[in-house]
Amino acid sequence: MWGMEKKKAVVEKVKANKKEFVEFLTKYNVLQLAVGVVLGTAVKDLVSSIADNLIMPVVGLVTPGGSWREWNIPLGSSQFGIGQLLSSFLDFVIVAGVIFVVVKKILKIEVDKK
CA dihedral 52, 54, 55, 56 (to 10 degrees): 40
The pLDDT score that the predictor gives to residue 78 is 92
For position 1, what pLDDT does the model report? 56
From the options 3.20.20.140, 1.10.1200.120, 1.20.1730.10, 3.40.50.1260, give the CATH code of 4-113: 1.10.1200.120
Ranges of each domain in the chain: 4-113
For residue 39, what pLDDT is reported? 85
76: phi then psi, degrees, rounded to nearest 5:
65, -120
Give me the tens of pLDDT residue by residue for the chain, a chain 114 residues long: 567 888 888 889 988 999 898 888 888 788 888 888 888 888 878 877 887 888 878 877 877 776 777 888 999 899 988 888 888 888 788 878 888 888 898 888 888 887
Separation of alpha carbons 14 and 110, rounded Å: 41
Amino acid sitting at position 51: A
Q: What is the pLDDT of residue 74?
A: 92
- Angle, helices 30-50/82-113, rounded to nearest 10 degrees: 130
Element (H, E) at 103: helix 82-113
